[in-house]
Amino acid sequence: MSLDLAAIRGAHERIRPYIHRTPVLTSSRLDAARGASLFFKCENLQKIGAFKARGATNAVFALDDATARRGVAADSSGNHGAALARAAKLRGIPAYVVMPSNSAKVKIRAVKSYGAEIMFCEPTEAARESACADVIAKTGATLIHSFENEDVIAGQGTAAVELLEDIPEVDLVMCPIGGGGLLCGTAIAAKSMRPRIKVIAAEPINADDAAQSFRAGRLIHTPKKFTIADGLRTNIGEPNFAIIQRYVDDIVTVSEEAIVSAMRTIWEAMKIIVEPSAAVPYAAVAKGKIDIGGKRAGIILTGGNVDLDALPWM
C-alpha cells in the first residue's frame, strides 16, 4: 500500500464501526490565556482511552483471514497493547502483548481486560524486541508494530481527518511525538487535506530524539532519561523519520514541569482527564514554544489513561 490520504480514508471506513468519533472541545479560558483559538480533538475519550485504538484496529482488520487466525503480537508500554488486544478480541483472534515490567498498572489491567496474553520483560528496547520475536516464532502471530506499521500509521491519521472535517479552518495542527505513528498519520492527512496548514510536534526535552533528528537532518537515537510522558519514551522509527522530514514543519520540546502544569491546566479548565503525554503540545503552547497568537490551532489530546492513585501533583 502507499501511505497517502486515500489509505487514511480507507482506514477510516474500515474502523468506523469500532471506534468513537470523538468530540472537538474548546475552552474560552484557555483561548483567552493564549490569545488563540484552540480546538482539542479528544482522543482521550476514544475507545481504550487513546488514539491508539484507531491504528491497531485498522491493522488487525486489514489482515487476511488466514494470517489473522494465527493472531497478532506487539511490544507496547501500554496504549497500543490495549488497542491491539481490543481489536483482536473484536475480530476473534489471539493477541500477544509484550510489556515492560514497569508499565503503569492501569495500562496492564486494560490489556488484560481484553483477554490478551501478556509477557513481561525488562524495560529496555532490546529485551522488548527479543521477547516479541520469541512469541512470534512460537505462535506464527503477525507483528503489529506500534508506530512503524503502515496500517497503524494510516489508522492514526483518521483523528486528523475528523478534526479537519469538523473544524475546516485551522492554521496549524499539533500532536506529541513518541515513535512517530500519530505524527506521520496526522501530517499526511493534514497536508493532503489543507496544503497550507502547519504541522508541529512536541516532545519532552527528556526524550528529544525527534527534535534532535529533525534539526540534524538525520536519525539520531538518544539514551532516554526519565519522562513522565510515558507514551513518548520511545525513539522514532526510520520510516517515520522519512515522513516527518517531508511533511512536518517543526518539532519543539518541553520540560517535565511544563508537562505536569499543562496536564493540570487541561484537567481544571476542560474537566477532562488527559495523561501526561497528551498534555505535551499544550505545554509547548503555554511556554510560548509555538507561535499561535491570533491563530486557529488543532491539538490532538492523545490519551487519558492515568493512575488516579499516583497523580503527579499528589
Residue 290 three-state SS: coil
Instruction: Tell me which residue of 154, 147, 143, 137 sits closest to 95, measured CA to CA.
Output: 143
- Residue linked to cell 524486541: 129
The span from the CA of 283 to the CA of 33, in Å, is 13
The span from the CA of 183 to the CA of 194, in Å, is 16
Question: If binding is defined by CB under 8 A, does position 304 make contact with a copy of itself?
Answer: yes
Question: If binding is defined by CB under 8 A, does position 28 make contact with a copy of itself?
Answer: yes
Query: Of 41, 52, 107, 191, which residue is the catalytic one?
Result: 52
Q: Tell me if 136 sits within 8 A of 120, measured CB to CB.
A: no
Question: If binding is defined by CB under 8 A, does position 33 make contact with a copy of itself?
Answer: no
Question: If binding is defined by CB under 8 A, does position 311 make contact with a copy of itself?
Answer: yes
Among 3, 5, 33, 106, binds a copy of itself (CB under 8 A): 106
String of contacts with a copy of itself for each residue 122-161, x by CB under 8 A:
----------------------------------------
Question: If binding is defined by CB under 8 A, does position 273 make contact with a copy of itself?
Answer: yes
What is the end-to-end Cα distance of the chain in Å, rounded? Answer: 47
**Is 77 one of the catalytic residues?**
yes
Question: If binding is defined by CB under 8 A, does position 308 make contact with a copy of itself?
Answer: yes
**Among residues 216 and 308, whose Cβ is nearest to a copy of itself?**
308
Alpha carbon distances (Å) from 232 to 4, 95, 189, 278: 24, 23, 21, 10
Residue ranges that bind a copy of itself, judged by CB under 8 A: 23, 25, 28, 44-45, 47, 49, 106, 264, 267-268, 270-274, 304-305, 308-309, 311, 313-314
